[in-house]
Structure formats: structure tokens, C-alpha cells
Structure 1
Amino acid sequence: MSTLTQDAARAGASVGLDGDRITFRGGRPLKGRIEVRGAKNLVTKAMVAALLGEEPSLLRQVPDISDVRVVSGLLELHGVKIERDTETGDLHLDPSNVERAHMAEINAHAGSSRIPILFCGPLLHRLGEAFIPDLGGCRIGDRPIDFHLEVLRNFGADIQKLSEGIRMHAPNGLTGAKVELPYPSVGATEQVLLTAVRAKGRTELRNAAIEPEIMDLINILQKMGAIISVDADRVIRIEGVDRLTGYSHRALFDRNEAASWASAALVTKGDIFVGGARQGEMLTFLNVFRKAGGAFEIEDDGIRFFHPGGELKPVVIETDVHPGFMTDWQQPLVVALTQAHGTSIVHETVYEQRFGFTDALVEMGADIELHRECLGGQYCRFGQQNFLHSAIISGPTKLHGANIEVPDLRGGFSHLIAALAAEGTSTVSNVGIISRGYENFIQKLEQLGADFTVEG
């Protein structure tokens, strides 16, 4: 067992498995300071990028979350040597001896993660073949891999669907391609980047995602020797190179985790300093947070989020790709909006089934109605597909304790926030899912003065 795997196992024991429960005694404001490290939506992709290099890489500020452990296990199966400094979060990745892995082992290690699809391009370059199992992930909407497979075919991959998964070959190597995304998907953009940088010739990607995590991945690839340009009209151009080196990089902070703790401060009438958070990547969130009645102070080493007193205000939100309001921000903020005086509207345009978490909030006393129409914003692609993708939140309503089962990552953290704000006692089960994206969240709750008991 590697140093990283041992450390991860010890850390995972404090978080617990998916069946664990936490009992909260709500009504206490969260106050104090916590730290956020590298973004979940970047670090796992940066780890995969290390496969492309012929020299070791160093990734700094890597959080100890279960998604990182899954990717670490998959990399180790393919011969990558990994060492982690548990204090700093520095991750050393040595891909000098990349090798094939057995299908059964890949299946066993992948679990519910969707990251394996992004291994395909790098492995095709390094080994000439790749295998991925059936893919999981949070059940928040349709996340088909068909487009990923079509992209890989465009680059020259031969794809076979087997009963145990999908096997790919690239006997003649990969060649640059022209790709236009029907929607600026983050995952599809990452797929093209990780495949194109070592493909022969040029690749042009239109309607690309341009999230900060995507730009940071581009920064990493450029450090490795890639040639990538980004135009203002969502067009990314990549000139393939024969060889990439390793990289040394400090990961972008996790703006989703920062926004989650900000919402926790607002709904509990608390005061939380999020160390490591930065203003630039959170500009859109900060505007909405202020409109809703929250307050913040920006320092060089982080952002203080707090409830300034007085009434919270209703807002109208439409989620969108960057630079719009992130879909991962809306779930925690919806909990705070249950305490706003008036009617708020949230129109979800990124994932069509992201409001399932509101069932538990209604059980706790929230007044939330879901609608199939596009409310509060422009018409979106879900408008005539019969999805409940708009929410009307009327408040303020008193939240009371309840028994809740976590449905997905962001929805699960939102349930924790609701339990912390509610009167009485709440029991939240299946909390292990939350460790996919929130490092040491139990310890952070302790630091902020939450009243709870962890039950195995």
C-alpha cells in the first residue's frame, strides 16, 4: 500500500462510509475559520494529466477527498508512483513506468466515479489502449458518455463496447480533430484537452467550457509543454506535440466548497472566514450573496462570510456555465433562501434533475414548489422536456428537525446546512457521499462550533 493510500485510509476512517449518520442539534450559529484547498473539479483532472508527461509532476494543495483517493488508486493500478505530504497536501506523481491494468481491478477501484473516461486519451497516447468500466457519479441528471466516445473516435480511437466496460485502441496513434460541442460541457472540454495535446496536428474545439478549473487545467498542460490558445468566443485551439514533461502547480482553490460554507454562515446567522478563497473566481456568487442580504469582507488570505443582521432578501437566480451562476452554488444557497422574506426563484439550466434534494427541505418545513416551466429567466434546453427544473422558494419558514438521507454531493451538504439551522434534532444518513468533495468536513464543523454526534 502506497503512502497516499495509507493516509487516505486513515483519513477516510474519520469520515465514515456511505451508511454512516450524523445527528445534529440545530439552531447554533457557525462561527470560526476553516481552510479550503484545491478544487475537486480541478485536482482529479490534473492528476490524470500527469499521465501525459514523461517526467514526475508535483501538484500542491490537494484536498484529502474520496474522489482524489479513487483517482490515486486508478493511477497506481497503471503504474504511477504517488506520494503525498499530508500536512501540505503536496502530491508527487511519477508516471515513468505506466503500464496496463486488469479490467477487474479498474472496475473495483473506479466505484461510482466518472473520472475514468478522462483516462482514455492519456492512456491511448502512452499505451495505445485504454479500458473504462460503467460510469457512476451523482444522480442529478443525464451525463451520457456517448459524446466522449464520439470525440475519441474523431481522434482515431477504435472503440469496442464489452459486457464489462469499454475497450479502446489507437494502433495508428491519435490525430487532431475539429470538434463542436452542442453545449459547453466541462467534461467534454476536458476530454478534448487531455486527448489533443499529444495528438498529431491541430485540434479546434468550438463552444468549449471556460470555467476557472478548465483554465487552470490549460495552465498545467502549458507548463508541461502543450500549445493551447483560448479565444473570446469559446474556441480553444491545440497544436499537438510529441512530448510533454511533468509540471509543478498549486491548484486553484475550491470555489464550490467556499460558496457552501458561505451559505452555511448565512442560514445559521453565523460568521465564517474561508481561508484560501479568492474574489475573482467567486465574483458572480458574491453579487448574489450580497443581494440576498449576506455580507462579506475580502482579505488577502481568504473571504469572511457573515449574516449582518436584519432580514434576508429574495433573489432570482438562473444557473449557467461560467461566467454565470454555477449549478453547484444553487443547492446550498436554496437553504438560505428558505429564510428570506419573500419569494425567490431558481431556474436550473445545467442539470435537469438537481432539485431532488428539496424534498427533504419541504419535510423540514420549507415552502418550495417545483415547476417544469422556465421561470425567472430565459427559455432553456429543458423547457419542453417535462423536467422539474425551476423552483419557487417562499419564506421565511421555520425549519424543524427530520431524518434525512443524502442523495448526492452538493444536495447532501445542503442537508447538513438545513440540519444546522433547524430547530430540534436531525439525523442525516449516507453522509459518506459528502466526503467526495468536502475535505475533513466533520472536523471543520467542529471548528465552527456545530453541535452534532457522528454515529457509525
Structure 2
Amino acid sequence: MDSIHIRGGNRLTGDIPISGAKNAALPLMTAALLTDETVKFHNMPQLTDVQTLGKLLNVLGAELEPEIAGHSYTLSITTPDIVSTTAPYEIVSRIRASFWVLGPLLARCGKARVSLPGGCAIGARPVDLYIKGLQKMGAQIDLVDGYVVAAAPDGLKGALIRSPVVSVGATHTLLMAATLAEGETILENAAREPEVTDVANCLVSMGAKIDGIGTSTLRIQGVDRLHGTTHHVVADRIEAGTYAIAAAMTGGDVTLKNADASTFEAALVAMRAAGVEVESRQGEVRVARNGTRLQATDVVTQVFPGFPTDLQAQFMALMTTAEGESEITETIFENRFMHVQELARFGADISLHGDKALVHGVEKLKGAPVMASDLRASAALIIAGLAAEGETVINRVYHLDRGFERIEEKLGACGAEIWREKAS
């Protein structure tokens, strides 16, 4: 497997372009199954997760046409016919978001057979909310040999669905299914993440009737068919937050281009509290630290607009050298502290207490060989390595390629000494 090598100690200075959001691109690709016309996506990120989901869409009957010009990536998806309603284990087990095809397949074909999902090992993340919601819409669902087997021979029907907890995946799946259901569907306690809003806006441009976009109550009036459209994928707020934290960690001065501060404001608030200078402008965010030591700051992960769980590991890395003790509480995923033992290899002082991590700031970190456990943990290890003395080697970096586009190139352009070594 490839490894990332870093010689730490360099300040990050310059501009970093923010790519399209992975967490929007994947459900958008899935939504393209709802029409037999072409849906074109601009600002797509070039990631392995996008490629993996593309392979699944091919199996189902979609035709994908990528257009790459430099770092600009446009993807057109046309699905004239659904040739298979089975999403096989060998693909779905590699990327959790592929489970979301369940909604469009049921809505368009009246049946689906989708393997239970995989993805990062950061918690159980059950799919019962998806299943119960679709059952309320009239679907008959059974679990057979590790597959969700669903049928709605008379079509899906509108329903009132109130989720007991906020679930981004369930909101995506039920929203897509409802666009072609008969009658009105109301999703209460729906996720409000910017990526959900982006998908909803794309569906509207495809002819869907959706009210309440951006709120916790979505009202969808089903239509007979959707048509093609062209859509620009929203900027990746997690990538932006990651590079903002990296700039702060190194005492740098970085401008994030194409970033929308409103989509990760909770993280920026926490960074300001820690002593980081943050300046938001139209279409960009500047992050700087003048060399003074960071101050320990507590955070609690929450659904949007709260502090994102996808930035918890990165912020923990930032706190490892802050003055004082910070408390980081993880409320979304029960296993999302696997990076703690790897940060300790840098010399970080972190203790775990259930859903809380207490980070006792140390004067400095030292480079070490470490191993990534999941996508966001990989980014945390890079952040630590950028500030650590000596060389850091990060193994199992295939996780990074799932969610960060050209990370070595972007950091290297701002002064980081970082390179990838290919597996022999």
C-alpha cells in the first residue's frame, strides 16, 4: 500500500482551492438514476469513492461520461434503462453511500435488491431508518442473505415520516424516493446539512417539487417523471475545514478558495476560540496564526449546523499542542476515536472517557510511523505530521484518496514537505 511521508515544521502559506464536496457528489450521482435523461455535474471531485460508485451505476445501467480539463472534472450520467436492480455486495461493501441507490431503484422500478453497506469502521450506522421510512411509503422489505430486498409493485405512496434521530443517509434516500412517489411525502426531523440542500436543489432543477429546503421539514409532492439538468456541486466544507485546521496547526496563513464559511461556521467559531485568526470573504476564507500558542478549546460534535463529526479528528490533532486541556465529545459515531492511539505516537497526551477525549496540550510533537484507521483520521495524522519535528510516515493512505483530492499537491504548494511513496 502507498504511504505518505512528511517532514514537519514548515508553515503553510498561500492559496488552496477547495474541491466539490464528496458528501454531495455521491448522493447526486445516485439521484441521476431517477431519470432517463442526462444529468451533468460540474465541480465533481476526483476521488476513489466517486469511481467506485460510478462502477455500481454502470452495473445498474447508467452510462457515465467524464470530462477532465486540468483539475476541472465534469461528469455526465445517463440511465436510459435500469438493466439491473441489484446492488452487489462486492461494491456496496466498499462504500456506504452506494446503499442510497435503494431509494431511486424502488421509485423508478418498483423493486430493488441492495447489499447491506460498508465504508469506514467508525460505528454501526444502522439502516433501519431507511427501511422503516420506505415501509411507510408502502414498500415491502425483507432481509435475505445480507441483502435488503424491497418491492413496491404498485409504486411508492406519499407518507408522513418522522425520524427519531437526524440521519443524512436516510434523508437522502427517502427524499429521492419521494420525488416519484404518488402524493405528498413529509420528512420531519430531516437532516439540514449543506450536502442535503445541494441534492434537494438539484432534484428541483430536475423537476421535483420540494418545499422546506434547508429546514428540518421537507415536503415533497411526487411527480410522474424527472428530467435531465446541469448542476454545480457545492464546495467541500470538510476539506475546507481540514485545510483551515492544517494552516492553524503550522502557524501559517492560508486562503481557502471557493470555500463557503457558512457551511462550516461551527468549526471556524471553535478555531477562533482557540486563538486562530479567521476572515471570511465572498467565496473564500483566510485562516492565519501569528505563532502564539493555541488555547485549549472544548467541542461537541453535533448534526448541522453544529460542529461536524467529520472534523473531530482534525480538531483533536490541533488541540494536541494547545495550552491547557480540551474536552472533545463525540455524539454521532461511537467508534470515532480510533485515531487517538496513533496521535499518541507523536507524543500527544490524550485520555478517553466514554464519548469524551481529554487532550492535554504538549509543547511539541515528534514525527512517527502511524497508520490511518479511516478517512478523517488520515487527515488528522497529516495535520499532526505537518507540525511534528522530524519525519512522519502514514500508512494505509487509501482512505485519503476516498475523500481528499490531490492533498499532497495542495499542501505542497503552500510549503509543506510532503510526498507519496508507491507500494512496491
- Normalised-by-shorter TM-score class: over 0.9
Residue identity matched to 2:144 = L
Contact 2:99 2:116 (C-alpha < 8 Å) held by counterparts: no
Residue 423 of structure 1 corresponds to which residue in structure 2? Answer: 389
Q: Aligned equivalents of 2:90 and 2:329: distance in 1?
A: 37
Structure 2 residue 237 is matched with structure 1 residue 271: no
Residue 190 of structure 2 corresponds to which residue in structure 1? Answer: 208
Distance 1:133 1:232, change over 3 A: closer
Structure 2 residue 60 is matched with structure 1 residue 94: no
Residue 355 of structure 1 corresponds to which residue in structure 2? Answer: 337
The one-character-per-residue Cα deviations of 1:49-104 (angstroms, maximum 9, x if unpaired) are 1111232111110000111111111111122111112122111111223321666x
Q: Taking every aligned residue pair, what percent have the same amino acid on both sides?
A: 37
Contact 1:29 1:269 (C-alpha < 8 Å) held by counterparts: yes
Residue identity matched to 2:198 = D
The one-character-per-residue Cα deviations of 1:148-194 (angstroms, maximum 9, x if unpaired) are 12222222222232325233222111111221111111111111101
Contact 1:24 1:425 (C-alpha < 8 Å) held by counterparts: yes
CA drift at 1:339: 1.6
**1:50-449, aligned counterparts within 5 Å?**
50-87=32-69, 88-100=72-84, 106-163=88-145, 165-230=147-212, 234-372=216-354, 389-449=355-415
Q: Aligned equivalents of 1:249 and 1:231: distance in 2?
A: 16
CA drift at 1:232: 8.5
Unpaired stretches in structure 2, ≥5 consecutive residues: none
SS at match of 1:138: coil
SS at match of 2:153: coil
Contact 1:265 1:306 (C-alpha < 8 Å) held by counterparts: yes
CA drift at 1:393: 1.2
Contact 1:99 1:127 (C-alpha < 8 Å) held by counterparts: no
Residue identity matched to 1:395 = G
Contact 1:284 1:324 (C-alpha < 8 Å) held by counterparts: yes
Q: Give the aligned CA root-mean-square deviation in angstroms.
A: 1.8
Contact 2:95 2:117 (C-alpha < 8 Å) held by counterparts: yes
Residue 29 of structure 1 corresponds to which residue in structure 2? Answer: 11
SS at match of 1:217: helix
Q: Aligned equivalents of 2:109 and 2:213: distance in 1?
A: 32
Residue 454 of structure 1 corresponds to which residue in structure 2? Answer: 420
Q: Aligned equivalents of 2:280 and 2:188: distance in 1?
A: 35
Residue identity matched to 1:415 = L
Contact 2:36 2:81 (C-alpha < 8 Å) held by counterparts: no
Distance 1:193 1:345, change over 3 A: same
Q: Aligned equivalents of 1:333 and 1:397: distance in 2?
A: 17
Contact 2:345 2:370 (C-alpha < 8 Å) held by counterparts: no
Q: Aligned equivalents of 2:39 and 2:271: distance in 1?
A: 37
Q: Aligned equivalents of 1:148 and 1:125: distance in 2?
A: 14
SS at match of 2:220: strand
The one-character-per-residue Cα deviations of 1:211-256 (angstroms, maximum 9, x if unpaired) are 1111111111111111111288722211111111112111110000
Distance 1:231 1:417, change over 3 A: closer
Give TM-score, length-normalised by structure 1.
Answer: 0.88
Task: Using the TM superposition, name which of 301-310 and 169-178 deviates more.
Answer: 301-310
Q: Aligned equivalents of 1:329 and 1:275: distance in 2?
A: 19
Give TM-score, length-normalised by structure 2.
Answer: 0.94
CA drift at 1:363: 2.1
Q: Aligned equivalents of 1:291 and 1:57: distance in 2?
A: 42
